[in-house]
């Protein structure tokens, strides 16, 4: 019996995420090939022994190559395989001979393409099982772990470490998710492009991430579950401690058909899936934007205790659209308490809207105003429109005389100081009252640079791009909160 069969699932995945050494089988000097990019990233990231396996080139990226993984002098914990599909069985035999513990099969052309590919895939799994090798993929884009510094992916956005982990049954979708997350300042702990899931299933990774201390929120892109019942039982336990957010694709007939041809997965009935997710507390999203919106809210916001929202806006039109967006997502805009009205009357000029949405014509982000509203027992959460991180975009107010440059810069710097102070106050209030405060900028867009944006990014309060998206994310927080019993139910 090999060492790895004696290991339990967690130990096997520990090894896959933090091997002592990695061999790239199919390493290449051709920079349009993934065997080039994966090897390059492994070398750049460093931290472990890396071997290049190639039958034709003596050297790749400055590294001496071996004709087979079996020829490598030291031990090889993990093999990354990028060779053409019909060569994989032979390569897997070499891996077994070498005592490899885990393999990441990047190559496609297997079960997703039809009977011939499915036959090769079954053969590869049989060989691997015989040698106690656990498999990621095939037909995938690798995996990574920002703590161990292992990356078997071909490309990498400038993502940072973070508390999200992602399991995705599509490499392209997962790349889009990682990119979109990093655009919003969100970072990852672990990432798995699970591909055809010939050996390790979505459910295996899920079980592993449940006990992973670096993972606080689990994201998934799913076309079909191999072990639906196991997923349900796992999710039911996990969602009590960590949010699980899933983009289930293949919802429609055309989508299901496409999923079948993509990862050979059976998408199943969407209605059953919808009901099961609801029952086990999984947050279901419709597309990648919504997935990232919810992740941002889960990372940055406390869980609300209800669905009653106060809106602050610097503009009337945005206030109307915000009210529409919140209502459409099943949230409520209650009246403010008489006590809060008194406080706001004392703060604003008489022209303020005198109701919720709060449209003051002034700065709704002002401390006394926010304090009054977040203290109000009628209010569970707030949405702030067009009030944060806009000063730096003064430069967008084009074509001012150059003689004013200094005055403008002074104005911006002073505004930014005030805004950072407001953000710090906001954070204090959010956590004191345990009420989420979503920010959306739809007019002059939020500047993506400067001290204000930096502070927003650090605190995971970067503005949503529309009220619609902020409202959608908040609605998911409320539903999850109700599921957990943190919030009282609707009505």
Give the footprint of a second copy on residues 332-351 (CB under 8 A): 332-333, 350-351
State which residue, 238 or 246, has the beta carbon closest to a second copy.
Answer: 246
Q: Indicate whether 108 belongs to the interface with a second copy (CB under 8 A).
A: yes
Going by C-alpha positions, the residue among 227, 285, 228, 222 that lies closest to residue 249 is 222
Report which secondary-structure segment, H or E, holds 178.
Answer: helix 171-183
Among 22, 467, 472, 473, which residue interacts with a second copy (rule: CB under 8 A)?
467
Whether the CB-CB separation of 101 and 19 falls below 8 Å is answered with yes
Binding span for a second copy by CB under 8 A among 7-15, 97-105, 125-133, 395-403: 395-403
Site for a second copy in 208-227 (CB under 8 A): 221, 223
Q: Tell me how far, at minimum, the Cβ of 12 lies from a second copy, in Å.
A: 26
Q: Indicate whether 46 belongs to the interface with a second copy (CB under 8 A).
A: no
Q: How far is CA 358 from CA 159, 171, 308, 362, in A?
A: 37, 44, 14, 10
Among 254, 346, 449, 485, which residue interacts with a second copy (rule: CB under 8 A)?
254
Binding span for a second copy by CB under 8 A among 5-13, 46-54, 315-323, 419-427: 315-323
Whether the CB-CB separation of 280 and 356 falls below 8 Å is answered with no
Binding span for a second copy by CB under 8 A among 9-17, 130-138, 231-239, 280-288: 280-288
Among 99, 228, 255, 362, which residue interacts with a second copy (rule: CB under 8 A)?
255
Q: Tell me how far, at minimum, the Cβ of 309 lies from a second copy, in Å.
A: 9
CA-CA distance, 372 to 244, in Å (whole number)?
A: 34
Q: Tell me how far, at minimum, the Cβ of 444 lies from a second copy, in Å.
A: 7
Q: Indicate whether 330 belongs to the interface with a second copy (CB under 8 A).
A: no
Q: Indicate whether 32 belongs to the interface with a second copy (CB under 8 A).
A: yes
User: Quick one: tokens of 201?
Assistant: 């299933």
Q: How far is CA 460 from CA 18, 133, 298, 433, 463, in A?
A: 28, 39, 9, 18, 9
User: What residue ranges in 356-443 does DSSP mark as E strands?
Assistant: 358-359, 381-385, 437-440
Count of CB atoms within 10 A of residue 242's CB? 17
Among 3, 266, 272, 286, which residue interacts with a second copy (rule: CB under 8 A)?
286
Q: Give residues with Cβ within 8 angstroms of 28, minimum separation 6.
A: 35, 36, 39, 54, 57, 60, 82
First to last CA, the chain: 60
Site for a second copy in 289-308 (CB under 8 A): 289
Site for a second copy in 152-171 (CB under 8 A): 154-158, 168-171
Q: Tell me how far, at minimum, the Cβ of 23 lies from a second copy, in Å.
A: 20
Site for a second copy in 406-465 (CB under 8 A): 407-408, 411, 442-445, 465
DSSP 27-55: --S-TTSHHHHHHHHHHHH-SSEEEEE-S
Residues that contact a second copy, how many (by CB under 8 A): 89
∠ CA 455-460-464 to the nearest 5 degrees? Answer: 100
Name the DSSP letter for residue 398: -
If DSSP codes are grouped into helix, strand and coil, which group holds residue 128? helix
State which residue, 271 or 398, has the beta carbon closest to a second copy.
Answer: 398
State which residue, 118 or 486, has the beta carbon closest to a second copy.
Answer: 118
* Per-position x/- string for 68-107, each x denoting binding to a second copy as judged by CB under 8 A, each - no binding: ----------------------------------------
CA-CA distance, 227 to 32, in Å (whole number)?
A: 36
Q: Indicate whether 266 belongs to the interface with a second copy (CB under 8 A).
A: no
Q: Tell me how far, at minimum, the Cβ of 316 lies from a second copy, in Å.
A: 3
Q: Tell me how far, at minimum, the Cβ of 13 lies from a second copy, in Å.
A: 23
Q: Tell me how far, at minimum, the Cβ of 130 lies from a second copy, in Å.
A: 28
> Tokens 């999923």 belong to which residue?
259
Whether the CB-CB separation of 131 and 95 falls below 8 Å is answered with yes
Among 129, 230, 242, 354, which residue interacts with a second copy (rule: CB under 8 A)?
354
* Per-position x/- string for 111-150, each x denoting binding to a second copy as judged by CB under 8 A, each - no binding: -xx-------------------------------------
The pair phi, psi for residue 382, each rounded to 5°, is -135, 155
């Amino acid at each position: 019996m090999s060492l790895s069969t004696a290991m339990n699932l967690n130990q096997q995945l520990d090894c896959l995420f933090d091997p002592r050494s990695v061999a790239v089988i199919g390493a290449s000097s051709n920079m349009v090939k993934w065997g080039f990019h994966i090897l390059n990233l492994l070398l750049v990231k460093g931290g472990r022994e890396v071997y290049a396996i190639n039958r034709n080139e003596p050297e790749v990226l400055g590294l001496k190559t071996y004709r087979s993984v079996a020829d490598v002098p030291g031990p090889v914990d993990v093999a990354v395989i990028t060779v053409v599909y019909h060569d994989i069985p032979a390569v897997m035999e070499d891996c077994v001979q070498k005592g490899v513990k885990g393999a990441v099969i990047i190559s496609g052309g297997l079960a997703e393409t039809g009977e011939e590919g499915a036959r090769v895939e079954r053969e590869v799994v049989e060989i691997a099982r015989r040698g106690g090798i656990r498999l990621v993929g095939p037909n995938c884009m690798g995996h990574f772990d920002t703590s161990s510094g292992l990356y078997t992916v071909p490309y990498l956005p400038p993502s940072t470490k973070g508390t999200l982990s992602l399991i995705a049954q599509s490499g392209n979708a997962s790349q889009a998710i990682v990119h979109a997350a990093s655009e919003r300042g969100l970072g990852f702990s672990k990432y798995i492009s699970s591909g055809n899931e010939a050996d390790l299933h979505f459910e295996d990774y899920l079980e592993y991430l449940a006990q992973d201390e670096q993972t606080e929120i689990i994201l998934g892109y799913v076309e079909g579950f191999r072990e639906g019942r196991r997923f349900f039982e796992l999710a039911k336990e996990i969602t009590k401690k960590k949010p699980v957010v899933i983009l289930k694709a293949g919802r429609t007939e055309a989508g299901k058909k496409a999923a079948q041809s993509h990862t050979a997965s059976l998408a199943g009935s969407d209605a059953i899936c919808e009901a099961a997710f609801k029952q086990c507390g999984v947050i279901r999203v419709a597309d990648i934007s919504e997935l990232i919106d919810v992740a941002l809210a889960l990372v940055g916001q406390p869980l609300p205790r209800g669905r009653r929202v106060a809106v602050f806006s610097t503009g009337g039109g945005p206030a109307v659209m915000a009210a529409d967006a919140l209502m459409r997502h099943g949230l409520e805009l209650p009246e403010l308490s008489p006590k809060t009205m008194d406080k706001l009357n004392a703060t604003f000029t008489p022209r303020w809207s005198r109701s919720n949405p709060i449209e003051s014509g002034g700065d709704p982000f002002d401390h006394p105003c926010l304090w009054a509203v977040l203290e109000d027992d009628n209010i569970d959460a707030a949405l702030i429109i067009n009030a944060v991180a806009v000063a730096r975009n003064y430069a967008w107010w084009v074509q001012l005389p150059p003689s004013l440059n200094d005055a403008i810069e002074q104005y911006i710097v002073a505004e930014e100081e005030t805004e950072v102070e407001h953000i710090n106050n906001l954070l204090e209030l959010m956590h004191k009252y345990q009420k989420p405060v979503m920010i959306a900028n739809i007019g002059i867009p939020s500047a993506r640079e400067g001290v204000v944006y930096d502070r927003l990014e650090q605190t995971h309060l970067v503005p949503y791009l529309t009220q619609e998206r902020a409202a959608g994310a908040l609605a998911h927080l409320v539903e999850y909160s109700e599921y957990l019993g943190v919030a009282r139910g609707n009505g």
